[in-house]
Amino acid sequence: MPTDTPPAPRPAPGRPKDLAKGMAILEAAEHLFLELGFDGASMEQIAARAGVSKLTVYNHFGDKEALFIAAVEHYCEEQVPPTLFTPAPDQPLQPRLEGIARAVYALMSSPEAVSGFRLMCAPTRLDPRLAEMFWNAGAGHLQEEFAALLARRTAAGELAVDDTARAAAQFFALLRGDIHPRLVMGCDALSGFDAEAHIAATVELFLRAWSARPRP
């Protein structure tokens, strides 16, 4: 029987020489990028907020773009731990998908993520590559991890997904619904909203479409 084998490891751009300093830099970068935008936040300001020298910031992360990517990845991994996507063939599929959906929903509805999306939509953003970097480091990467999980579960005979990248995008789109765009626009979209019912309905609809076994 096919097994839920782990995907190939994702190469890392390099690990900080001092983990405590690296973490302080990442946390400072997260806050300042959100407060001031990518163009407004300088490496000097990030270094001062982290309590390190500017040289230390460059030694840990190379340049501002690499630090931005690392900060987005760090925040996403805090909210949606990579362990949610690691092989667990003995765990039933439905609760596995619900756990992922719950974490992704919490991420996308968090004030930090909403602010990040607003930042990417701001007309004052100068570098068009920044939005692509933001997407690839955050939602795009999560969708890739989810697509790999779908491929493993399809190989195991639980799902019948012919295009895992498309199915992953559809799952995330179902999960976003109208909540995420309304949050980005500043609407009070979460007042009275039943997140657990939304998550359960998203997973149920997804499984009705892609389960290899008929749904009751």
Angle at 19 between CA 18 and CA 25, to 5 degrees: 90
The 3-class secondary structure across 139-160, one letter per residue, is HHHHHHHHHHHHHHHHHCCCEC
Contacts of 202 (CB under 8 A, 6+ apart): 101, 171, 174, 175, 177
How many whole angstroms separate alpha carbon 165 and alpha carbon 145? Answer: 10
pLDDT given at position 55:
94
Q: Work out the pLDDT band at 125, boundaries 50, 70, 90.
A: low
pLDDT-above-70 percentage for the chain = 88
Instruction: Name the residue type at position 216.
Output: P
pLDDT given at position 130:
82
pLDDT given at position 157:
95
DSSP annotation of 183: H
Bridge partner residues of 163 (DSSP) = none
pLDDT given at position 216:
60
Nearest in space to 141 (alpha carbons), one of 79, 67, 87: 79
In this predicted model, what pLDDT tens digit does every residue of 58-91 receive, in sequence order? 999 999 999 999 999 999 999 999 999 999 989 9
pLDDT surpassing 70 at residue 5: no
Q: Work out the pLDDT band at 120, boundaries 50, 70, 90.
A: confident
pLDDT given at position 178:
93
What the chain holds in terms of domains, given with CATH numbers, is 11-70 (1.10.10.60), 80-210 (1.10.357.10)
**Do 213 and 162 meet the contact criterion of CB atoms below 8 Å apart?**
no
What does the pLDDT average to over 182-201? 93
What does the pLDDT average to over 26-30? 95
Q: What is the mean pLDDT of the chain?
A: 88
What does the pLDDT average to over 34-57? 93
pLDDT given at position 148:
97
Contacts of 23 (CB under 8 A, 6+ apart): 16
Cα 141 to Cα 31, 38, 77, 190, distances in angstroms: 21, 20, 10, 26
